[in-house]
Chain A
Amino acid sequence: MNAARFKRWLQGLPTHIILIGIGLVWLLPTIGLLVTSFRPFQDVNETGWWTALSAPKGEKEYRTNCGACHGNDGRAISTADLTNPDLVQNYRRSFALLVSLERETFGGQPHMGALSVPDENTAATIAAYLRRISGIDARPRFTLDNYIDAMTGYRGNVTYKSDCASGQQALDLFCDWRDLGNPRGMGRAFLNSLIVVIPSTILPILFAAFAAYAFSWMHFPGRQWMFALLVGLQVVPLQMTLIPISRLYAQLGLNGTFWGVWLFHTGFGLPYAIYLMRNFIGSLPHEVFESAYLDGASHWTAFTKLALPLSIPAIASLGIFQFLWIWNDLLVALVFLGGQHPVLTYQIGNMVTSLGSGWHLLTAAAFISMALPMIVFLSLQRYFVRGMLAGAVKG
């Protein structure tokens, strides 16, 4: 019996290995982003994120070369306490440290005693470690500074907090809550994204609900072919409409305004929204509507009191879809809003091209933009999947 169970377990093993392996590959890149976004910026470019929990850089070198006399904590020699910043200040650069290691003598003995003097690279690593333990360049393992810097749009060489503390901040920073509105910052971009996404999600669903009700429960000539035509508009790719709309907006002065993106997203969300809503509202039992009419209800009452409340599941699916699609959109924001009202995707896209290797800022910024859709997705996954299955053909 036990052998049979073991055999079954063994047979299932490849499945688990493959699944867990794929799962890890899928997760690792995102974990790397998350870990990096919480590391101090000095560490980010010095060591890989996977070393975040291991010993700080230079500790090993320090212990082999200096630990025997100075002690592992650096305090063993009271006249040469390596945790004293005033002392370490003199040896903070590797060449100064090397000079001391090679030339200085203590009680007639060379500094390094019987040990050989380390090479330049090792000396630099040790100097960095000394700066760290002496508090000259102390930094925690994890920090929230990257998020603060990203939110305020800080672009200096240290951190927003230390610049503000020393009063050396850039001219466009105030060092108070107003910095959240800095046009370069993610705080402002987050707000802009919200301003874009809310009406762009509500408007198409509302318009689609009206249209879907008419298509489902009203008599008018051309009902069938008009529905087919509207749904057919799903095939028009977004790229095809950008140029004429930019020109139209230029004439109307809508370029770079929120109205421009709201209307554009509404127009583009509608074909799919009408299709989904019509399928849902149309499949509600017609007895419900019939009896409402017998009771003297008007179309308006039937729409607002029956059709809308009953189609909440469809509205939820549609809402999540539209929300994620607009929140994550770059192209439309790039073309119609640009730098006037930068949204999250635009801001990050800009940072990627202008910052080069500012990974501490980029990772924090990327995570700020991902947090909300991830929460929405994980909490409402059911509706999302349902909406996707209902309209897998959306382009």
Chain B
Amino acid sequence: MSAKNQQIPGIMRQGRLTPWLYLLPALLVMTTFIVYPGLNTFYLSLRNNANTDWASDNCLSGAPCWGVFENYRYALASEIMQTAFLNNLKWILLMVSGTVLLGLTIAVLADRVRYEALAKAIIFLPMAISFVGAGVIWKFVYDFGSGQVQIGLLNALVTALGGKPVSWLTVPQVNTIALIVVGVWMWTGFCMTILAAALKGVSTEILEAARVDGAGEWAVFWKIMVPQILPTITVVITTMIINVLKIFDIVYVMTGGNYGTEVIANRMYIEMYTSFKPGRAAAIAIVLIAVIVPAMIFNIRRFREQEATR
């Protein structure tokens, strides 16, 4: 943020109103579409589904009730949301580690070959595709034929190796992993690009010096490269956690959240537009943001520090 404290030349003074004219369109749109709805969602999360009374109106006598926070009882304690939380946790653990490890591996290895640009473009290409397109691509890979013929690549492989075909997207536990693989396929390119840029910044002199001193490639990687790019790795991990928390499209397209693959963002969509319970949906949104905001703040801070030292 070097630009922040720069001096504006004195000669460039202007009328009082001018800056506001330049800012007006942006301010207007952002207030309407981000500030107001953000606050309104919080209010809605405390209301009943028709928005006619407080949420305590939804309580049934004899059942547990959180009063005005009744919608939050659903968002935090209901069975389906517990499944969603658990699944999101699985997503975070597997997808974040998968994308970061693979991205780092490819970034390090591609640096040494002549076809670096091609290799990176191939890994990065899924980033240009929509989640929906990726959903179709992978649903086809996972296709399960009930007859003898398997037109899905994965089941064809399994049967060719003598195994029995698996219905990858409907078997609980297996299906969540199958969805996470799609996520890894899509997001590894992102991690790779940012990590590769950081690796290019590691001073070649230090690397050469270590190699001359007899350090093996493995030691060079763990003792020099990783510590040097650790701040970037942290930023990538946090960014990925935020992305994974909001994951929606892959699940919506491939399983619709059925067969135990529910995630938080998909549940919110279903509550809002299938069950027509906006109060609950709003409460889920608030829970989601409560989880995301700390990660976001952490990330922006780290990013600023990095910018400052660059």
Interface residues of A (CB under 8 A from B): 12, 15-16, 18-19, 22-23, 26-30, 32-33, 36, 44-50, 206-208, 210-211, 213-220, 223-224, 226-227, 230, 232-248, 263-264, 266-268, 270-271, 274, 278-279, 282-283, 286, 289-290, 293-294, 299, 302-303, 324, 327-331, 334-335, 344-345, 348-349, 352-353, 357, 359, 362-363, 365-366, 369-370, 373-374, 376-378, 381, 385, 388-389, 392-393, 395
Contact = CB atoms under 8 A, between A and B. Distances in A.
B102 interface: yes
Most chain B CB within 10 A, of A208, A290, A330, is at A330
Given A211-B26, A213-B22, A289-B12, A352 B109 contact: no
Contacts of A214: 18-19, 22-23
A29 B153 contact: yes
A210 B26 contact: yes
B58 to A, nearest CB: 16
B95 interface: no
28 contacts: A15-B109, A29-B138, A45-B151, A48-B152, A50-B156, A211-B23, A216-B8, A217-B12, A235-B289, A235-B293, A239-B265, A239-B288, A242-B285, A243-B37, A263-B29, A267-B33, A271-B30, A286-B6, A286-B8, A286-B9, A352-B132, A359-B151, A370-B129, A377-B128, A378-B125, A388-B194, A389-B193, A393-B303
B40 interface: yes
A233 B130 contact: no
B151 A218 contact: no
B41 A330 contact: no
B273 interface: yes
A5 to B, nearest CB: 16
Contacts of A18: 105, 109
A19 B193 contact: no
Helix, strand, loop or mixed for chain B's interface? Answer: helix
Contact of B136 (A33, A330, A388): A33
Contact of A267 (B34, B143, B156): B34
Nearest to A348: B132
Contacts, number: 316
A102 B259 CA distance: 49
B292 interface: yes
A118 to B, nearest CB: 16
Interface string B245-289: 010110011101000000001001100110000100110011011
Contact of B252 (A33, A330, A392): A330
Nearest to A293: B11
Interface stretch (B81-89, B203-211, B220-228, B235-243): B235-243
Contact of A270 (B13, B19, B30, B131): B30
A124 B266 CA distance: 45
B38 interface: yes
Contacts of A206: 25
Interface string B135-161: 111111101000001111100100000
B127 A236 contact: no
Chain B contact-residue range equals 35 or more
B60 interface: no
B129 A328 contact: yes
A232 B151 CA distance: 48
Contacts of A32: 137, 140-141, 153
B11 A290 contact: yes
Nearest to B278: A243
Nearest to A327: B130
Given A237-B289, A270-B26, A303-B22, 15 more contacts: A26-B123, A29-B140, A33-B136, A208-B26, A210-B23, A214-B23, A219-B19, A263-B32, A267-B33, A282-B3, A302-B12, A353-B256, A392-B194, A392-B239, A393-B296
A59 to B, nearest CB: 16
A240 B133 contact: no
A223 B302 CA distance: 23
Contacts of A26: 122-123, 125-126, 185
A346 to B, nearest CB: 8
B44 interface: yes
B164 interface: no
B268 A239 contact: yes
B194 to A, nearest CB: 6
Nearest to B43: A244
B289 A240 contact: yes
A212 B112 CA distance: 40
A27 B122 contact: yes
The 6 closest A-B pairs by CB, nearest first: A267-B33, A282-B3, A328-B130, A241-B37, A377-B128, A244-B40
A237 B246 contact: yes
A54 B35 CA distance: 59
Contacts of B138: 29
B2 interface: yes
B297 interface: yes
Nearest to B3: A282
B12 A299 contact: yes
A243 B286 CA distance: 12
Contact of B296 (A211, A223, A234, A365): A234
Contacts of B281: 243
A274 B285 CA distance: 25
